[in-house]
Amino acid sequence: MQRIFRHRTAYLLTPQAYQTALALLADAAAAAGPIATVIGIAGGGRRPAEEIATRLGVPVCHVEAQHNTSDALYTQATGTVTVNIPDGFPAAPGGRTLLVDDICGTGATFTAVAEALAPRLAPDVRMDTVALCRNVGSPLRPNWWAWDVDDWVVFPWEPRPDTAMQPLPMPERIHTP
């Protein structure tokens, strides 16, 4: 599994497009039924998870997962994901849980985190996945995402690299599998 990078220009997720995407993602997830909790995959999924949980009025917690060997542009994922579930991580209540990350590059992070969390979840938990972006090379399709991308993405909370960037368009709809 490899992410696709055209190497033409990095995409920049502007704060305005980010806020619009969060609203659309939260609305799409809520339309599918009640949500009990949101779990953010740190680092990049932390902020979107917190903001989606706030919009939905549900609790949020975080797990850590490391997939990339560095934050350098165009770094391919290793395929190996290290998951750290913090001590005191709350058991997710029954019902629907949203697992949120900034990007679904290959799907390996979503898969590894879901597997690591499985023993801690109530038997009736249904885990749905949400990402701001999905790399077109990913075989995994989250339940909801805002953009299909074919190059590196710079998110609002990341430092801006010294390279040409093209803003992602304002999202008008959410993708589903």
pTM, whole model, 2 decimals? 0.92
CATH topology of domain 10-167: Rossmann fold (3.40.50)
Which residues neighbour 172 within 8 Å (Cβ) at sequence distance 6 or greater?
A: none
pLDDT at res. 129: 98
What is the tens place of the pLDDT at every residue in 93-109? 678 999 999 999 999 99
Domain ranges of the chain: 10-167
Q: Quote the mean pLDDT of the chain.
A: 90
What is the tens place of the pLDDT at every residue in 100-154? 999 999 999 999 999 999 988 888 889 999 999 999 999 999 999 999 999 999 9
Question: Do the beta carbons of residue 99 and residue 46 sit within 8 Å?
Answer: no
Report the 3 state secondary structure along the chain. CCCCCCCCCEEECCHHHHHHHHHHHHHHHHHCCCCCEEEEEECCCHHHHHHHHHHHCCCEEEEEEECCCCCCCCCCCCCCCEEECCCCCCCCCCEEEEEEEEEECCCHHHHHHHHHHHHHCCCCEEEEEEEEEEECCCCCCCCEEEEEECCCEECCCCCCCCCCEEECCCCCCCECC
